């Protein structure tokens, strides 16, 4: 708890993920200076106890803290919090650590890192996976890019929020690994979807498919956790299609920037586009199976 010279921790971005992450830091004993575009989420936390106090904008957060965590929707949001009119950049300097846990473009992470290190501050990109459940249960996987000493300094904070905590490389490496993660999850959804729709339309009970395939090399966490929901058309998010679509956009751009063809990820990204176009962007990403149902003109036995 005595990290960062006893100073409170800044936390900017109190959405579905950020709020429970901030709560877990408070539960671990940290005092937090919080800021959020919509004031309601700030008030919610302020009402929960004296571990929280509010700042008017990112710069004020940075002025009162030695470490600032951000958990924001996309690259432009992070850029705005750092470089914007009341951004934190001018308040960061030697001894300050910026920890961006958002999922954004690796190039944007590196840009932010460069700007902060030019002022003598330090930065980590530390995106997470595990979704709202992982955030609530302090069970996130955290993939951190940046310097080893900075990672060591941030580790107690990560341990208050996550379970699998890995330093994956230098600046931007966390975002690279997160992009890989989102590709794999999307492609594994495609795999389960194709199996369920083929099997069911060919007359097999899809629950039997999940049962047998889970016993062998075809097993995946997606099948285990989401197979039954896909069959039952239970698409309450969870993690929304719109966000996964955004993450696949980052992954495809990153792949292209690195000269790496990723045809399966590109294919699945197109199916997410189709779902977004059809107005399904607010459903859980497991609703990818409905894109396959539409293609096959066939519905699984769900409520949908």
Which positions from 166 through 205 interact with its own copies, judged by CB under 8 A?
166, 168-170, 173, 176-177, 179-181, 183-185, 187-188, 190-192, 194-199, 201-205
Nearest residue (CB) to its own copies, 33 versus 250: 250
Task: Collect all residues with Cβ–Cβ distance below 8 Å to 163 and sequence separation of at least 6.
Answer: 130, 134, 138, 139, 140, 141
- Binding span for its own copies by CB under 8 A among 24-32, 81-89, 248-256, 273-281: 248-256
Determine, following the binding rule CB under 8 A, whether residue 130 of this chain makes contact with its own copies: yes
Determine, following the binding rule CB under 8 A, whether residue 261 of this chain makes contact with its own copies: yes
Under 8 Å between Cβ of 126 and 158: yes
Active site residue 178: yes
Options 21, 97, 222, 230; binder of its own copies; rule CB under 8 A: 222
Taking the complex as a whole, the smallest distance from the CB of residue 261 to its own copies amounts, in Å, to 4
Nearest residue (CB) to its own copies, 157 versus 268: 268
Options 76, 90, 152, 211; binder of its own copies; rule CB under 8 A: 211
Nearest residue (CB) to its own copies, 90 versus 256: 256
Under 8 Å between Cβ of 235 and 283: yes
Task: Collect all residues with Cβ–Cβ distance below 8 Å to 75 and sequence separation of at least 6.
Answer: 104, 105, 108, 250
Hey, which residues does 53 pair with through a beta bridge?
33
Determine, following the binding rule CB under 8 A, whether residue 108 of this chain makes contact with its own copies: no
The secondary structure of residue 213, as a DSSP letter, is: H
Residue of 66, 178, 226, 246 marked catalytic: 178
The dihedral built from the CA positions of residue 210, 211, 216 and 221, taken in this order, carries a sign that is: positive
Closest Cα partner for 22 from 64, 80, 79, 71?
71
Write out the two tokens for 231. 């069959």
Options 217, 236, 279, 303; binder of its own copies; rule CB under 8 A: 217
Distance in angstroms (rounded) separating the CA atoms of residues 40 and 175: 29
Nearest residue (CB) to its own copies, 57 versus 141: 141
Determine, following the binding rule CB under 8 A, whether residue 259 of this chain makes contact with its own copies: yes
Options 267, 278, 282, 301; binder of its own copies; rule CB under 8 A: 267
Nearest residue (CB) to its own copies, 82 versus 192: 192
Peptide bond into 90 cis (omega under 30): no
Distance in angstroms (rounded) separating the CA atoms of residues 151 and 97: 10
Taking the complex as a whole, the smallest distance from the CB of residue 167 to its own copies amounts, in Å, to 8
Residue with the two structure tokens 């990723």: 262
Return the active site residues: 178
């Amino acid at each position: 708890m005595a990290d960062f010279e006893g100073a409170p921790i800044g936390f900017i971005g109190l959405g579905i993920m950020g709020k429970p992450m901030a709560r877990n830091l408070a539960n671990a004993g940290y005092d937090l200076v919080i800021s959020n575009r919509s004031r309601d989420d700030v008030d919610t936390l302020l009402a929960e106890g004296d571990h929280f106090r509010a700042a008017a904008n990112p710069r004020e957060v940075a002025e009162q803290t030695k470490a600032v965590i951000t958990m924001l929707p996309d690259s432009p949001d992070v850029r705005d919090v750092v470089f914007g009119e009341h951004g934190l950049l001018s308040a960061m300097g030697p001894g300050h650590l910026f920890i961006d846990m958002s999922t954004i473009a690796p190039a944007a992470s590196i840009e932010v890192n460069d700007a902060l290190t030019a002022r003598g501050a330090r930065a980590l990109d530390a995106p997470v996976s595990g979704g709202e459940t992982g955030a609530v249960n302090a069970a996130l996987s955290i993939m951190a890019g940046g310097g080893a000493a900075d990672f060591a300094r941030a580790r107690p904070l990560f341990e208050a929020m996550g379970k699998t905590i890995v330093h994956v490389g230098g600046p931007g490496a966390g975002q690279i690994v997160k992009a890989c993660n989102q590709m794999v999850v999307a492609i594994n959804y495609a795999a389960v979807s194709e199996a369920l729709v083929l099997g069911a339309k060919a007359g097999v009970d899809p629950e039997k498919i999940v049962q047998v395939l889970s016993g062998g090399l075809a097993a995946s966490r997606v099948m285990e956790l989401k197979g039954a929901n896909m069959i039952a058309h239970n698409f309450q998010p969870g993690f929304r299609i719109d966000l996964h679509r955004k993450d696949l956009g980052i992954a495809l751009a990153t792949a292209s920037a690195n000269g790496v063809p990723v045809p399966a990820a590109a294919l699945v990204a197109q199916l997410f586009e189709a779902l977004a176009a059809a107005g399904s962007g607010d459903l859980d990403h497991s609703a990818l199976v409905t894109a396959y149902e539409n293609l096959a003109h066939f519905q699984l036995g769900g409520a949908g």
